Amino acid sequence: MPGDLKDGRIVIVGASLTGLRAAEALREEGFTGSLTVVGDEPHPPYDRPPLSKQVLLGQATADTTELPMRRDPEADWRLGVRATGVDLLAKRVLLEDGESLPYDRLLIATGTRARPWPDPEEGALDGVLTLRTREDGAELAERLAAAPERVLVIGAGFTGSEIASACRERGLEVTVAERGPAPLVGALGGTLSKLAAVMHRNHGVDLRTGVTVTALHGDRNGSFTGAQLSDGSRVDADVCVVALGAIRNVEWLADSGLAAGPRGIACDAGCRAFTMYGIVTDDVFVAGDVSRFPHPLFGYQMLSLEHWGNAVEQAEVAAHNMVNPGPLRRPHLAIPTFWSTQFGLNIKSVGVPTYSDYVVIAQGSLEARRLAMVYGYQGRVTAAVTVDMAKSLDYYRHLIETAAPFPPPPGAADRAIAADVPIPSDVPDPSGLSHGPTVALTGYLPDRRLTVVQPAR
């Protein structure tokens, strides 16, 4: 069939932020054909970041997080129905109710789910929760509002840290157990993780690092009562939140022939999915948390991102490429961005902090708890993280996009960059953490510099 598609049938699997923004973009691109969006949850697309922030603080309820539509995508919404497979030859999506949906183009945007506690019996105890869905957010908020004597959070990544922050803001006692040496170390490296540990403890968090939870305990009624730790200690608590990272929703594609695995579905820079033999498809596209794509600024490694901004930007690129011929297609070259609010601090990042060998504090200081840290890899800038200094982020984004040398030159927004000596970024092996980084990288590492020029839209 021709490369452009303004009419015909498009199916989006994943009624998420990515799915919604892709559906809207398809209509904006002039697609007039039939558009079907399949989602396993019964709700229209909703926003997940507020679930670990405003919802847990009682500032909003989980049922008010529905995403606003920028325009009506005039789609057939199949909500509460799980997709069970894809027949690439027949070009049909298989649903759990026995129906199959024909497509001319397919977008897979199934995202991730919370990693459960590995022991199902212990994980089923009343009071053992995860935080990913709207229902999860509502239940956890209700539990926190009931003022439990102590909350145990397993995992000190961004989600676990935000939950701990919300508990302390509510005046609740909270213990955080982290297998790694400090909170956020998997995402931000060793230096900033030390600041995160200080913030946890300064705000009254009982932070336990370098330990694992070996067992969850319950009473005769099946209610959670506490946990055993690997150092021999026990934590008594009423609520346990398992924050062990995410699992990409790819199992339904096991027999599809697509290159789908634990790190996501591999695709090219234009969001076209690869088959298991490394051949790019022309009618199956991938976007959002479930995708795994190459980025030229990061050594052409395959990036798997769990970022809100990436979900939106990649959805728009995928939608554009689904309905335009080859010469008009564009690559997904957006620089990853991420933000978090915890313990009164605003943390924002640009680039890929885990793709680094050295860091330098370019502005501010750890002592002031206001700073800009720049990350470098093999002599060029690859990322920056700001703490309560977000106005400088655009400057560092430009350095990343232009493959600027590391350490960075003077010229930040509010003052000359400090001449601190670079130190190792201390990015740990993910296997030593109880949660994954928000960016996972795998692939070839060519020693090459380039400047990315964003194509005209």
Give the predicted TM-score (pTM) of the model. Answer: 0.92
Would you tell me how many other CB atoms lie within 10 Å of the CB of residue 21? 26
Mean pLDDT over 89-118 rounds to: 97
Query: Looking at residue 414, what is its pLDDT?
Result: 46
How does strand 337-342 pair with strand 280-286?
unpaired
Distance (Å) of CA 348 to CA 105, 342, 383, 391: 35, 11, 11, 10
Which residues have a Cβ under 8 Å from the Cβ of 337 and sit 6 or more positions away?
307, 309, 310, 348, 349, 350, 393
pLDDT number for residue 248: 96
The span from the CA of 328 to the CA of 25, in Å, is: 16
pLDDT band at 445 (very low <50, low <70, confident <90, very high): very low
Q: Out of 40-44, 362-366, 451-455, which region has the weakest mean confidence (pLDDT)?
A: 451-455
pLDDT score, position 258: 96
Tell me what percent of the residues of the chain surpass a pLDDT of 90. Answer: 82
State residue 193's pLDDT score: 94
278: exposed, middle or buried (C-beta count within 10 Å: 0-12, 13-18, 19+)? exposed
Token reading at 285? 């596209």
What pLDDT does 429 receive?
76
Query: Cα 340 to the chain's mean position, in Å?
Result: 12
- Look at residue 409 in the predicted model and tell me its pLDDT: 76
Residue 232 CB neighbours (<10 A): 8
Average pLDDT score, the chain: 91
The confidence score (pLDDT) of residue 411 equals 58
Element at 23 (helix H, strand E) = helix 17-28
Tell me the C-alpha distance between 301 and 294, whole Å.
Answer: 5
Amino acid letter, residue 434: S
